[in-house]
Amino acid sequence: MRLLLVKDVDAVWPGINRFAEMLEKDFPEWTAASLFHGARSGALQLWVIADGEAAKAAIFVEYRSRGNHTGARVAAMAGEDIHGWKHLWPEFKKALVTFGASSMDCVARKGFGEIFTDFKAKRYLFEVDLTDA
């Protein structure tokens, strides 16, 4: 398994579109189309975890600058077989530092907690379905 920063989004998108579609179900603020366009425009960095030619996960990162601080936000992340690639997380964090990030945050499903062992919960996300209101 390896972690790749993808600059040619068009070439890899067919192999990772399924992860973007998975994200639509859990994070309605992201659609597969918005993730594609964000990665293609450079608004989002696209990282792919691959085993040979097969994509195992996709990670979309956006950077936010506040004064002299740059935070990396894992805007969206989806994959399969987390146990096969969670060992890459320290390498990923180091790579973000090379892009100028001094901190990282993430909103993720509960299952990703097993790789975020050094994260502190600083905020809670409360959500309510308003279609029944």
Q: What are the DSSP E strand ranges found in 23-68?
A: 45-51, 54-66
Domain encompassing residue 20? 2-114
How confident is the model over 98-118, as pLDDT tens digits?
999 998 888 777 777 777 777
How confident is the model over 13-49, as pLDDT tens digits?
999 999 999 888 878 788 999 999 999 998 999 999 9
> Residue 120 domain-assigned?
no
What is the value of pTM for the model shown? Answer: 0.84
Q: Dihedral of CA 91/96/102/107: which sign? A: negative
CATH of the domain at 82: 3.40.630.30
Q: What's the whole-number average pLDDT of the chain?
A: 85
> Residue 130 domain-assigned?
no
For the chain, the maximum distance between any two Cα atoms, rounded to a whole number of angstroms, is 48
How confident is the model over 51-76, as pLDDT tens digits?
888 899 999 999 998 888 899 988 88
